[in-house]
Structure 1
Amino acid sequence: MTNPNNQYFIHESSYVDDGVTIGEGSYIWHFSHLLSHVHIGKNCTIGQNVMIGPDVSIGNNCKIQNNVSIYKGITLEDGVFCGPSCVFTNVNNPRAMVERKNEFRQTIIKKGVTIGANSTIVCGNELGEYCFIAAGAVVTHDVKAYALMAGVPAKQIGWMSKAGGKLNDDLICPIDGQKYRLTHDNFLLEAISD
């Protein structure tokens, strides 16, 4: 694979198949494999022993930690963090002797999501913008934007700000002071600044 003007870095132990595009400023570390027709955005970090693809899109500024596999049908939007050894599934009822590659379910991980170490994201679900999945959680349904999810199966236990601060009852981010508000149907939105 050509790397014009050293725009990105691929460790010599990693494999990159044909048809892969890698954005400027991205790093692919040891023993990773990017399968055909994968798109990696700008300024991404792909950790050790990561497998992506085929036909997967990774947005800009994503960080995928060690020992993660991202299969066909999964899309990561910009700014997604995947913690070490988090798991994505691709079918709900796998059997070793039954071929189900035509049954892969779409899984959309929206902008700014954090997925904690050793958590599992069951396929076919959408994780809303800036939600936060605690380490070890098992997500079995769609997740609201900004929701803090924990447990097996994962349940919402609070709200997280865009900056990654746990929100108290006042819904003000302890990190950057951003105010949030709840809608009448229990969705969190950023409050309009005065």
Structure 2
Amino acid sequence: MDDTYRAHRSACIDEGAEIGDGTSIWHYTHIRGTAKIGRNCHIGQNCYVDVNVKIGDFVKLQNNVSVYECVELEDYVFCGPSSVFTNDLTPRAKFPKGSEGYKKTLVKEGATIGANATIVCGHTIGRNALIAAGAVIIEDIPDYAMFGGVPAKQIGWVCECGQPLDHKFYCSKCETKYYKVKAGLEKEE
């Protein structure tokens, strides 16, 4: 650890955690050893970042976010208050599996996870996807897709800027056009 990031005195940062320049860590947050957090991140109050978690640059975790082992958040991911990631599909206190039994979750660049959303492990959330508040994700999410509900279903498409797209995949806010591909949408150049 070095002193190029800021951490509130109540934060617990275990030896071996790597934290990038310009990152802020707030009250009562626990960062476990072997966690890797990138540059210019904002880790809110009462968050938990487990061992072997990888968090990219410019990521924002609002208050009360739990990011458990085997989760990776790429650059510019936003996690709303009290969103949570799981890592075990069949947990039992009596029969712990350890990391070899956990399922990997990947949240790709620019995705947003709404407040109180639950991301069930073993899935990928696509680039710039938007997960609505309170949603429960139980499947892979395409790039630029908007999902909501319990269990979550696709409710539309969203622009990189966050604006919902019309039926022609056009953003009226930033005037960006998209086209459909297998992985979701791509921006027209």
Assess same fold via TM > 0.5.
Answer: yes
Quote the Cα distance in structure 2 between the aligned partners of 1:176 and 1:42.
27
Work out which of the residue numbers 24, 29, 32 in structure 1 matches 2:29.
32
C-alpha deviation, 1:186, in angstroms: 7.7
Work out which of the residue numbers 134, 139, 154 in structure 2 matches 1:141.
139
Runs (5+) with no aligned partner, structure 1: none
Work out which of the residue numbers 23, 42, 47 in structure 1 matches 2:44.
47
2:120 aligned residue? 122
Work out which of the residue numbers 163, 166, 185 in structure 1 matches 2:164.
166
Percent of counterpart pairs with the same letter?
45
Matched, 1:2 2:8: no
1:107 aligned residue? 105
C-alpha deviation, 1:13, in angstroms: 0.3
SS in 2 for 1:112: coil
Per-residue CA deviations over 1:111-151 (Å, capped at 9, x if unaligned) read 00100000110000000100000000000010000000001
Matched, 1:94 2:91: yes
C-alpha root-mean-square deviation of aligned residues, in Å? 1.2
Runs of 4+ in 1 over 4 A off after TM superposition: none
SS in 2 for 1:164: coil
Matches within 5 A, 1:153-192: 153-183=151-181, 185=182, 187-192=184-189
C-alpha deviation, 1:55, in angstroms: 1.1
* Amino acid aligned to 1:82: C
Matches within 5 A, 1:54-73: 54-73=51-70
Aligned length: 188
